Structure 1
Amino acid sequence: MNSSSSTLQICFLTAGLLTFNYGYSSESEDTQKTKDDEYNQRMLIVGKKVALSTEAGSATVLDEEQLEKFEFDDIHRILAEVPGVNIRQEDGYGLRPNIGFRGVTPERSKKINILEDGVLIGPAPYSAPAAYYFPMVSRLTSIEVFKGPAAILYGPNTIAGTLNMQTRQVSSLNEGMFDLSLGPDNYQKTHAYINNSIGDLGLLLEGLSVESDGFKNLDGGGNTGFDKNDIIAKARYNLDTAEYSQVIELKLGYADEVSDETYLGLTDNDFAATPYRRYAATQLAKMDWEHEQAQINHFISNAKFDLTTRIYRNNFERGWRKLNNFQDSQVSLQQILNSPDNAINAAYYDILNGQADSEVNFGKLLIGTNFREFYSQGVQSDLRFQSQTFEIENNWKLGLRYHEDEIERYHTEDTYNMRSGVLEFSGNQTQVTTANTERSEVWSLYVQDTLKFNKWEVTLGVRGEFIDSYYQNNLPEQEENWLKKSTEVWLPGASAFYNLNENSGAFIGVHRGFIPTSPKQDPEIDIEESVNLEFGYRYFNSGTRLELVGFASDFENLKESCTASTSSACFDNIDQEYNAGEAEVIGVEFSYSDRTSISSAIDLPFSIIYTHTQAEFGETFSSDFALWGDVESGDPIPYMPENQLTLTVGLESSDWRSNLLVRYTDSMYEAAGDNVTLSGVTTEPLWVLDFSAAYDFINYGTLYFKIDNLLDETEIISRRPFGARPGKPRQLFAGYKYRW
C-alpha cells in the first residue's frame, strides 16, 4: 500500500470517529433487540418482508430461513428463486459466479453491483469489476436483489440492479451454532459461530470451511476440487444517550481459496462419452487467492433522522495458473476442441489428452499464471429523514461516497512439454506477458425523495458519478504507455406506486442506466448507457406474495470486455472493451408464493418463479470481439435464456420439513453473428431438481439431508472459454446442526 492510501485510511477513520457521541445506557432485552433491529435494517436495502412493499422496483428478499431450506453453497442455485436473474454456470460449484439481471451479460457478474452489508465487495468495482472473489454464501443470513429505478441509490452500475448480502449481525443474546456436513468426493463443510453480549458490548466470531476433491476425473489422476475458508469477527458497542440511539461496529474478515480449476473443457464427443473427464493438459491448473476486509459502521438516529456511515477496506490477491494455448499454434484451443478431427487440430488434441508427446518444435504448451493484486477502500454516509410540505409527506434519502480501487496485473507464461501424459517444464525462461496498473478515484452521490399523498407514492431521484481513472503499462520499454481520463455522469430516475388497497398496488418507473469503462480503455470506447422502464403489480397478504413486472431496457450503447473467461481469443487482448451500439432487452418477471395447510399438523409452502427475456442487437456491425463477429440487427445476445422457471414445494411440520426445487433453463446461444467460433451453437435446455429434508430434535439439534441434481442431469452448461463443460452431477449430503 502506498503512503497516500495509508493517509487516506487514517483520514477516513478520523472523520468517522468525529461523528461519534459517546454515552452509556442500560436497556432491557426487548428494548435492546428493537435497537438491534433498527441498526440491522440499515445494512439491508429492502429489509424484512412484513408488509406490502411500496417501493417502485422489483425486490426479492431471501431470509435466513429460506437460505437454510436447501443448505446451498452455490449462489447460482440460491438465485434460481429470484425472478429476472440470468446465469452462466462454469465450474459446477459456483466458485466464480456469472450473474446478470434483466438481460445484462452475466460474465463474471461485472455488470451488477455486488454489496456485502451495504458496501461494494468486489476486488476493484470500478477499475476491474469482474468478480473473481465472491463471499461464501453459507455464512450469509439474507440476500436481497433489487432492480428498477431505485438502482440509482447503488452505483456505479445502474442498468440492471444490485445484489446485497447480509452477514450475521451481532445480537444482544448469548448464542452460537455448529454445523457439520459430509458428502461425496470427500466433501466437508464445517461452520460455527458464537455470539456473546456483555452489557453494551456484543462480540461475534464466525468461521466456515468447505472442501472437496472435485467431481471431475483428471487424466492420470489428481484432485479437481477446492478448499475454501472464511472467518469473520465483529464487535458492536451501543453508545446511546438521552437524545440519540447510537451504535459503532467493527467488522474484520479473512478468506482464502485453493482450487484445482481450469478453463479447458472437452470436445462435444468426449463430453457425450465421459462428461466429467479432464484432459491431462490441465493437471497444473490452480487458483490460489486471499481476501482481507475491514469495515467500521456508525449508526445514529433520533425521532428526526438516522445517519449510517461506513468506512471500508478490502484487499484481494490471486494467482491462477492454467493452460493458455500451444506455443506454436495458429489456431485457438476453442478451434481445436470444436474440430478435433481436422488433420492439424488432431495432432494438438492428442497432446492435450496426453496420448501424444510434444516434439522439439511442435506441441509445447503455454501454462500461464495470472497474478493480480487489488484493493478497494472508501467511506460512505447515508442519511434518512422526513419532512412535511402541506399535505405531502417527504421521505428523503441522501448519500455521499468517496471510493478508491486499484488492480495491479502481472501475468507470466512458461512452456511445458507433454511426456507420457505428464507435463514437464521445458526449462525455457519465464515470459512476462502483461504488467499494468489501473486505478480509479470516485466521488458519487445520490438524492431521492419519496412523496406520499393520498394513495400515491412518487419517487424522484438522481445519482452522480465522478470518476478519475489512471492506467499505466508497467512492461519494460512500455512505461510511456499510460492514460488518464475523467468521466462525469448524472443518472436520474422517477417512479410511482399506487395503493389499490392495503394489500396490493401498481407501480411504474424509469431511470437512466450506466456502466463505466475501465481505466485502460481509450476514450473512443463509449460507456454503456440505457433507458430502463418497468411497470408492475404487487400483492401481499399474510403468507401470500405475488409480483408481476414488465421491463424494457433500450441501450444507446452496449459494451462488453474480452476476458480470459470469455474466449481463448482474448488471451492476447485481456480486458479490452468493445462497443456494439444500440440493443434492446424486454421481458416479464413473475413470482408467486403461498402456504396452505393440508392437515392440522402439516403445511405445504410453494412458489413459482418465471422469467421471459428477449435480448437483441439493434445495429448491424462487425466486431473483433470473440462473442460477436459479424452481427446483424435482430441477432440474439449470447447467454440469454428466453425462458426460465423455478418451482418450489415443501411439506413442513413442527419438527420436520422437506423441500423440492425444480429449475428449468432454456437454451442459450454461445455466440452472436458469424465468423466467430461457436456461431449458431447453443446450450441445451436443462431441467435440474434439488431436494432437501431436515428433522429437528428440539434441544438436540437438527439432522438434514440434501440431494443436488436429483435426476443426475448431464448437459453442456457452457463452451466458454474453450470446450464443453458440465454442471455438477447428482450428489447426496448429510449434515448436523446444533444451536444454543
Structure 2
Amino acid sequence: MSIVIRSHRHAVRFGASLSVLALLGPAFGANAKEAAPLDAKADTEISEVLVLGRGAQRLRIAGSSHVVNEADLERSRVLTVNEALRQVPGVYARDEEGLGLRPNIGIRGLAPTRSTKILQLEDGLPLSYAPYTDNASYSMPPFRRFVRIETLKSASQIRFGPNTVGGVINFITPSAPETFGGDLFMAAGGRGYQELDLKIGGPVLGELAAIGHANRTRSNGVRDNTALEIQDLWGKLEGRLSAHHAIALRVGHATEDSQVTYSGLTAAEYAADPRQNPFANDHFKIKRATAAITHGWTLSESLNLKTSAYSLWFDRDWWRQSSNSGQRPNDASDPACGGMANLNTTCGNEGRLREYNTYGLDTRLTWTGALVGAQAVIEAGARHQWERQNRLQLNGDRPTARTAGTSVNGGVRENNLRYGEASAGFVSLSLTWDRLTVNPGLRVEQIDYRRVNRLNGTTGETDLSEVIPGLGFAWAVKPGAYLYGGVHRGFAPPRAEDIVSGTGGVVDIEAEESVNSEIGYRSAVRPGLFVDINAFRMDFENQVIPASVAGGVGATLTNGGKTRHQGVELSLKGSLREMGMIRGDDVFFRSALTWLPDAAFVGTRRSSVSGFGGVSVSGNRLPYAPRWLASAAIGYSFGVHTDVQLEVQHTGKMFTDDLNTVAQTADGQRGLIKSATVWNASLNTRPFGDRTTLFLAVKNIGDKLYIADRSRGILPGAPRLAQIGLSQRF
C-alpha cells in the first residue's frame, strides 16, 4: 500500500491529483456540521481548528484520542508541557532544563529526543518550524498560552502530516471573548521561578473580537549555572465579515535569553554533584515570529471552505563548550586549552547558529450530506509548504566568544543552506450508518530536498514521494459506548542533512515507515465517569535511528531496520458529584496508564554503538522505551471555593542503547535508567469569589533524585519545587 520514489529529479509527480484536491480543500482545519466525527467549533469561529471533536463527537472518533482540558491544567497547576502530557496515556514526556522549553515527547515507545517522531500543531497549523527537513523542537511557547491539548494517535491522523508515525498533538489557544475581559496570572517559587502572564480581549469592530497574551517567565532551572528567561507576545483577531465569510488573524513574537548548557554529566560528575553544570559560559538565545491568516467561507449549508496562509521564523544561537559528556571541553586537543582546568579561561566554544524560515498555504473543503445510505462527511485538502534552513557552526577561541576564532579548533566549521519544498493532499471520508462509522482516508506527500554547502561549493538535491492510506471505524455498542479501531501507514521523512550529504551526494536512507494498528473501547459509563482502553501495535519497516548513541538529535541518522511496538493504554476520569453519588462537595479523579511489553528490534540488526558494530541486537529492547508509564490524581473540592489534589507520576526503567547496557559507562551516556515515582500536590482556593484564585503547588514532594536522560550525558530530573500564585479574572 506504500509507494516511495526518490531521485534527483521527480520520477513521479502527482500535480494533477493535488490540483483536484486543491479545488476541494485544505490540509488543516475544517468546518463540518454537528454530525462530523472530526469537527470545528462553529462555521464562523474558524481560529480554533480541532484535531478532535466535542462532547458526543469525541466518542465517535475512529481511533484513540485524548483531551487535556483547562480544568485539568488548573487543578494540577501545571508548569510545563511535559507535566500536562503525562496525563495522556501512551505519551512519554521527558524533562530537560526545567521549564519544558525544549520538549522531548515520545509516543508508544518512540524515542522522545526533541519530539522528532510526532507532529505538533497550534490551532491546527504547524508549530514546528521545519517538520519536513528538521523536525526537532528547540523552542516551545509558554504553556499558559494554551487552554487545551488534543492528542490523536489513530488512522484519523493522516488528515495531518508529515510525521504520522507516532501521533498528532494539537495545542489550542483561547478564543477571543465576546465581552471585554481578561486574566492576570502571577506566580513565584523555588529555584528563582517567577512568572507574569496576562490575557485580555473583547469586541473591537462589528462582529470582530481580539485577544492578546503576554508572558514573561524566569527560572534557574534544575541545574547550577543555569538562568532561563523567556518573553512571549501573542494575539488573535477573529470574527464574521459577513453572513458567509469569517476571518482569523494570528501573530506572535517570542524571545529566550538563557544561560544553559547542552551537555549532560559524566558518571563521576553526577556522583560528585548531580546538579552541577561545569559550563557556566554556555549561552542560548532565540527569536521566534509567527503569523497566520485563515479565511472561512460557507458556500452552502453542506459545504464549507477554509484556507490558511502561515509563516514561521525561528533564529537560534547556542554557544557551548560541550555538546555531550564525551567533550570535556570541545577543544581539549588545543594546547591553549588542554582540558577542564582551563575551562573558564583559554578553552574555546562552539556556536551552533540556526535560522529557519517556513511558509505554507493550505485549504480544505468539507461537505456534509447523505451518501450510499450513510450520513457522510467528506474532507479533501491540499497544502504547499516551503522550508529554508541557514546553518552555521563557528568555533570560538574563548569560553565567552561569539564569533569564529583562529586557534587550532577555531574557525567556520559549517556553512550550509538546506531547503525543502513539500506538497501534500488528502481525502478523508466519514460514513455513518446508524451505529457504525467508517473512516477511510488517503494522504499523498511529495518532498523536494536541496542542500548547499558554502564551504566546498557543492549542491545536492533529491526528492521523495509517499502514499499513506488509513482506515478506521467506530461502532456504537450501546449509547455512549463505542468499540473503535483502525490501521494506517505511518510516515516520517528524513532530514535534509540525512538524505543529502555535505558533498552533494544522495544518501541511501529511506523514509521512516510503519504499519500502525489498534483496537479499543471508550465509554461515558455514566454521567461523570469516562473510560478508554485500547491495544496498539506498530510494525516498522525501517525505523531511522542515530548512527551513534551519544550523538543526540544532531547525529547522522541511519536505517535501523525493523522494529515492533505493542502494548495497552488505559484512561479513566470521574467525578462523584457528577455521578450523583455526593452533593455539594466533590471527589474527582483521573488516571493514565501505559503498558509497553514489547518494543524491540526484529529481524537482522547489528549494534550502532561505536566498537560494537558486529554485535547482534535482534530481540533487544529499544532505547528510551519504558515498559510502564503511569499518571494518576485524586482530589477533593470543598463546594466551589477550594480544591486540593494529590498526583503521582511514574516512569518505568529503560535502556539507553541498543546493547541494553545495564552498568553505566564513564561518560554517563549509556546504562540503565532506573524507574522513578514523583508525587505532586496542589491547592486552589477562591476566598473572594470565582474570579480570584490563590494557589499553592509542590512538585516532587519527596525531593526524589533521579536520572531523566543520558543521551548527551546524565541529566537529573527536577528537584522539589514549591510555587505560590494568584489568578485574577476581570
**TM-score bucket (shorter structure):** 0.7 to 0.9
Q: Write the letter of the residue equivalent to 1:479.
A: G
Please, what TM-score do these two structures have when normalized by structure 1?
Answer: 0.85
The structure 2 residue matched to 1:472, chosen from 447, 452, 459, is 452
Shift of 1:107: 1.2
User: Quick one: distance in 2 between partners of 1:41 and 1:408?
Assistant: 31
Q: Write the letter of the residue equivalent to 2:648.
A: V
User: Quick one: distance in 1 between partners of 2:417 and 2:183?
Assistant: 43
What is the DSSP-based 3-state SS (H/G/I as helix, E as strand, rest coil) of the residue aligned with 2:560? strand
Q: Write the letter of the residue equivalent to 2:646.
A: L
* Range with bigger deviation, 117-126 or 514-523: 514-523
Q: Which structure 2 residues correspond to residues 241-256 of structure 1 after superposition, within 5 A?
A: 241=243, 244=244, 246-256=245-255
Look up the match of 1:645.
630
The structure 2 residue matched to 1:174, chosen from 175, 180, 185, is 180
The structure 1 residue matched to 2:240, chosen from 238, 241, 245, is 238
Q: Write the letter of the residue equivalent to 2:483.
A: A
Q: 1:75 to 1:266 in 2, by over 3 A?
A: same
Shift of 1:324: 2.8
User: Quick one: distance in 1 between partners of 2:186 and 2:677?
Assistant: 29
Contact 1:580 1:619 in 2 (8 A): no
Look up the match of 1:594.
574
Q: Write the letter of the residue equivalent to 1:634.
A: G
Deviation sequence 1:413-462 (CA, Å, 0-9, x none)? 124489xxx99x99738411111111111110110111111321111110
Contact 2:151 2:167 in 1 (8 A): yes
Look up the match of 1:183.
189
Look up the match of 1:265.
264
Shift of 1:112: 0.5
Shift of 1:262: 0.9
Look up the match of 2:35.
none
**Do residues 670 (structure 1) and 656 (structure 2) align?**
yes
**Do residues 385 (structure 1) and 375 (structure 2) align?**
no
**Do residues 277 (structure 1) and 254 (structure 2) align?**
no
Q: 1:171 to 1:322 in 2, by over 3 A?
A: same
Instruction: For structure 1, list consecutive stretches of 5 or more residues without a partner in the other structure.
Output: 1-15, 20-33, 219-223, 326-331, 338-343
The structure 1 residue matched to 2:396, chosen from 414, 417, 422, is 414
**Do residues 508 (structure 1) and 488 (structure 2) align?**
no
Identity of aligned residues (%): 27
Contact 1:73 1:136 in 2 (8 A): no
Look up the match of 2:592.
609
**Do residues 212 (structure 1) and 203 (structure 2) align?**
no
Q: Write the letter of the residue equivalent to 1:646.
A: S
Q: Write the letter of the residue equivalent to 1:334.
A: G
User: Quick one: distance in 2 between partners of 1:515 and 1:626?
Assistant: 26
Shift of 1:559: 0.4
Contact 2:608 2:658 in 1 (8 A): no
User: Quick one: distance in 2 between partners of 1:262 and 1:190?
Assistant: 25
Please, what TM-score do these two structures have when normalized by structure 2?
Answer: 0.86
Q: 1:467 to 1:185 in 2, by over 3 A?
A: same
User: Quick one: distance in 1 between partners of 2:60 and 2:562?
Assistant: 33
User: Quick one: distance in 2 between partners of 1:297 and 1:646?
Assistant: 37
The structure 2 residue matched to 1:693, chosen from 683, 690, 699, is 683
User: Quick one: distance in 2 between partners of 1:472 and 1:371?
Assistant: 16
Look up the match of 1:375.
357
Q: 1:559 to 1:56 in 2, by over 3 A?
A: same
Contact 2:436 2:476 in 1 (8 A): yes
RMSD across aligned positions (CA):
3.1
**Do residues 432 (structure 1) and 412 (structure 2) align?**
yes
Look up the match of 1:81.
87
Shift of 1:182: 1.1
**Do residues 39 (structure 1) and 16 (structure 2) align?**
no
Q: 1:409 to 1:417 in 2, by over 3 A?
A: closer
User: Quick one: distance in 1 between partners of 2:491 and 2:612?
Assistant: 21
What is the DSSP-based 3-state SS (H/G/I as helix, E as strand, rest coil) of the residue aligned with 1:403? strand
Would you say how many aligned residue pairs link Structure 1 and Structure 2? Answer: 668
User: Quick one: distance in 1 between partners of 2:59 and 2:159?
Assistant: 17
Shift of 1:193: 1.4
User: Quick one: distance in 2 between partners of 1:40 and 1:82?
Assistant: 26
Deviation sequence 1:367-412 (CA, Å, 0-9, x none)? 1010000011101112221232342222111111111111110011
Look up the match of 1:200.
207
* Higher relative contact order, chain-length normalized (CA < 8 Å, sep 6+): 2
Shift of 1:626: 6.5
Q: Which structure 2 residues correspond to residues 66-465 of structure 1 after superposition, within 5 A?
A: 66-197=72-203, 198-218=205-225, 224-241=226-243, 244=244, 246-279=245-278, 282-301=279-298, 302-324=300-322, 333-334=325-326, 351-352=339-340, 356-357=341-342, 365-416=347-398, 428=407, 430-465=410-445
Q: 1:193 to 1:357 in 2, by over 3 A?
A: closer
* Range with bigger deviation, 667-676 or 83-92: 667-676
Instruction: For structure 2, list consecutive stretches of 5 or more residues without a partner in the other structure.
Output: 1-21, 26-39, 500-505
Look up the match of 1:221.
none
Q: 1:81 to 1:349 in 2, by over 3 A?
A: farther
Q: Write the letter of the residue equivalent to 1:595.
A: S
* Range with bigger deviation, 204-213 or 624-633: 624-633
